[in-house]
Amino acid sequence: MYCSVYVDDILYVLHKEKDEISLHNSLKQHVDTKCLEPVTHYLGTDTIRSEDGSFMLRQEEKIKQMLDICGMSECKPVSTPMTVSFQQETNKIPCTNPDLYRHIMGKLQYLVKVTCPDICNAVSFLSRKVETPTEHDWQGVKRVLRYLKGTSKKGLVMSGQGKGGMECYVDADHASELTSRKSTTGIVILLHGSVIDWCSRRQAVVAISSSEAEYVSLSTTCNKLQWFEHLTQELCIEVKKPILVYEDNQTCIRLAMSEANTKRTKHISVRYHHIRECIQQGFITLSYCNTNNMLANVMTKPICEEKYNRMVIKLGMY
């Protein structure tokens, strides 16, 4: 039996009906409980099950609430959450309602964490501006909402019928932030063909080359995969080793596979070199992936509509 508890909401998964009765009887000895039907709505997330055992997670109602708050219920949808050039544009005019900006960003972050990997990069970038947002940033938030308006019925589809075990896509956008010149890390993790985790994150250090930026992203990926290994062990889910990690930078792959330190690499912090240990121990294996097929690309920067739509389908958004 697996139980997820959030305050007074309990979600459980089990194999036998008698276990459900036993759980209820045990809980009733301590607290008053109310048993609902098979889950269709949990913490603002709709669960739609299919006959083949797969299910879709989506948050249509939360999207409608955000549109109502911003007076955008009748807005015109757009095909991508952020224009390709948005992150390169600047505007120093202060946002007229910074509190509303922060309020909506908090709601968008919840969507990203649960059901919307397709807006992860846009929300990550806009979240960095919550302290002093500009009108340009606010226009970016409104574009994300217009995108959600047209995709509110889309959800993240998950299935246990896929093959391939656990695999991961990792990418980096070198020096993508104009002010700090820090790079952006993008990671997508799949289990049996379904996306189970994703992130778009500004790196903590300034990388002096694209290969170094990819190397730092790879280090973050290893940390995530080690955490997921512990989680799958607790859930009695077998994950075959080594875990396949797709990388689109050949130099980064050679750097991770080598034990040598050259003039170009000796400045890299020691904490990032645990990648080599993960490879030597057989925990991960690296495989080159063409940039056009790099799923994590959608997590690092805005991309053109055609490529974006193709990547969203690969993420399992239908």
What are 240-260's pLDDT values in tens digits? 999 999 999 999 999 899 877
Statement: residue 264 has pLDDT above 70: no
Domain span including residue 205: 161-306
Residues 188 and 278 reside in one and the same domain: yes
Residues 21 and 119 reside in one and the same domain: no
Q: How confident is the model at residue 263 (pLDDT cuts 50, 70, 90)?
A: low
Residues 211 and 293 reside in one and the same domain: yes
- Report the DSSP pairing between strands 55-58 and 184-191: unpaired
Residue that is written with structure tokens 């239908």 in the block: 318
109 assigned to some structural domain: yes
Q: How confident is the model at residue 3 (pLDDT cuts 50, 70, 90)?
A: confident
Kindly state the average pLDDT of the residues 291-303.
95
Kindly state the average pLDDT of the residues 5-28.
86
Residues 176 and 284 reside in one and the same domain: yes
Nearest alpha-carbon partner for 109 in 121, 94, 95, 96: 121
48 assigned to some structural domain: no
25 assigned to some structural domain: yes
Phi and psi at 265, nearest 5°, equal -120, -15
Statement: residue 160 has pLDDT above 80: no
Residues 8 and 110 reside in one and the same domain: no
Amino acid symbol at 109: Q
pLDDT at 73 (0 to 100): 96
Please give the DSSP secondary-structure letter assigned to residue 93: P
Bridge partners, residue 58, by sequence: 46
C-beta separation of 55 from 158 below 8 A: yes
Residues 280 and 286: their CA atoms lie apart, in Å, by: 11
Out of 129-133, 194-198, 237-241, pick the least confident: 237-241
Statement: residue 266 has pLDDT above 80: no
Helix axes 98-114, 135-151, angle to 10 degrees: 40
The residue ranges of DSSP E strands in 159-236, in sequence order, are 166-173, 184-191, 194-202
More confident residue, 309 or 19: 309
* Dihedral (CA of 150, 153, 158, 159) sign: negative
40 assigned to some structural domain: no
Residues 128 and 261: their CA atoms lie apart, in Å, by: 34
Residues 111 and 176 reside in one and the same domain: no
pLDDT at 237 (0 to 100): 86
Statement: residue 267 has pLDDT above 80: no
Query: Cβ–Cβ contacts within 10 Å for residue 303, how many?
Result: 17
The count of domains in the chain is 3
More confident residue, 183 or 270: 183
pLDDT at 51 (0 to 100): 86
